[in-house]
Amino acid sequence: MRKPVIAGNWKMYKLLSEAVETALAMKPLVANANHCEVVIAPVFVHLKTISDRLEGSNIKVSAQDCAPEAKQSANTGEVSAEMLKDVGCSHVVIGHSERRQFYGETDESVNKKTKSALSANLTAIVCVGEMLGERESGKAEEVVKTQLLGSLDGLTVSDMERIIIAYEPVWAIGTGKTATPKQAQEMHGFIRQTLTETHGKETSDKIRILYGGSVKPENIKDLMAEADIDGALVGGASLEAESFSKIVNFNG
């Protein structure tokens, strides 16, 4: 019922020529992947070139962030959701833990950015996830619930149709430590329960919840076998066409 999403977050990696080379190498490798949506998220300055080069393919292009302000305005250094749409993006990642940790992103700014993304007709991939200490002290669910409520505050049921949630435990990002499928499923189930409380069961049943944190070709199949895991947000393993395509083709 929920079409899986496999999204690659390229973070601040690759020069333009390398990004084009990887994107073009991915094209044939994922061309038959009708079972899922395939998304890659290069840096801002590569978005137009990559989306042009991927035109007609089944790979969608996402930005890694957007401005909280929706309107064209005096905000030096920012890029609006409308501008992302204009250069060919269909998605935008919002509230990635690296932005929360290192760039002062808060649930309030994530909420504003999410609303901007929706107003520009982009699909927002909203990231949540606890730190290691929070998990160890038994606060993981409380932290994730607070992030969800703050990040999605004021969104209507129809807004939720263009929201994807990415659960990324911070302790599993880039560390090689993956949450076990059981740990991930427990949190995904909790997230869906929280979304049922806020927006009703019919809506929460439709929302894709992605897992992120050291996803690799070797562990994707077990993660995807869980009831509430609807795809993956992949960092390191999305940087090479071959490993990313193996993750995309998890059903093979």
Written as six digits, the tokens of 250 are 């998890």
List residues bridging with 124 in a β-sheet: 92, 163
Please give the Cα distance from 183 to 179 (Å, whole number).
6
Both tokens of residue 24?
Answer: 């073009």
Q: Is 26 in the site for ligand PEP (CB under 6 A)?
A: no
- 215 near ligand PEP, judged by CB under 6 A: yes
214 interacts with ligand PEP by CB under 6 A: yes
Is residue 62 a contact point for ligand PEP (CB under 6 A)? no
CA distance 9 to 21: 16
Annotated catalytic residue: which of 91, 168, 188, 199?
168
* Residue 233 lies near ligand PEP (rule: CB under 6 A): yes
Which residue in 173, 191, 220, 248 binds ligand PEP (CB under 6 A)?
173
- Using the Cα atoms of residue 178, residue 37, residue 31 and residue 64 in order, give the sign of their dihedral: negative
Strands 163-167 vs 123-128: parallel, antiparallel or unpaired = parallel
Give dist(CA 46, CA 32) in Å, integer. Answer: 25
Q: Is 209 in the site for ligand PEP (CB under 6 A)?
A: no
Q: Which stretch binds ligand PEP (CB under 6 A): 15-23, 26-34, 102-110, 213-221?
A: 213-221
User: Using CB under 6 A, which of 212, 224, 244, 250 touches ligand PEP?
Assistant: 212
User: What does the buried/exposed string (b/e) look like for 154-167 if buried means 16 or more CB atoms within 10 Å of the residue's CB?
Assistant: ebeeebbebbbbbb
Count of residues in contact with ligand PEP, rule CB under 6 A: 14
Quote the least distance from Cβ 242 to ligand PEP, whole Å: 16
Bridge partners of 6, per DSSP, are 38, 232
Comparison of 68 and 95: residue with beta carbon closer to ligand PEP = 95
- 96, 105, 130, 134: the catalytic one is 96
Q: CB under 6 A: which stretch of 45-53, 187-195, 219-227, 228-236 binds ligand PEP?
A: 228-236
Is 188 tagged catalytic? no
Instruction: For residue 136, indicate whether it is catalytic.
Output: no
Q: Cβ(63)–Cβ(90) under 8 Å?
A: no
Annotated active-site positions, please? Answer: 96, 168
- Residues contributing to the site for ligand PEP (CB under 6 A): 9, 11, 168, 173-174, 212-215, 233-237
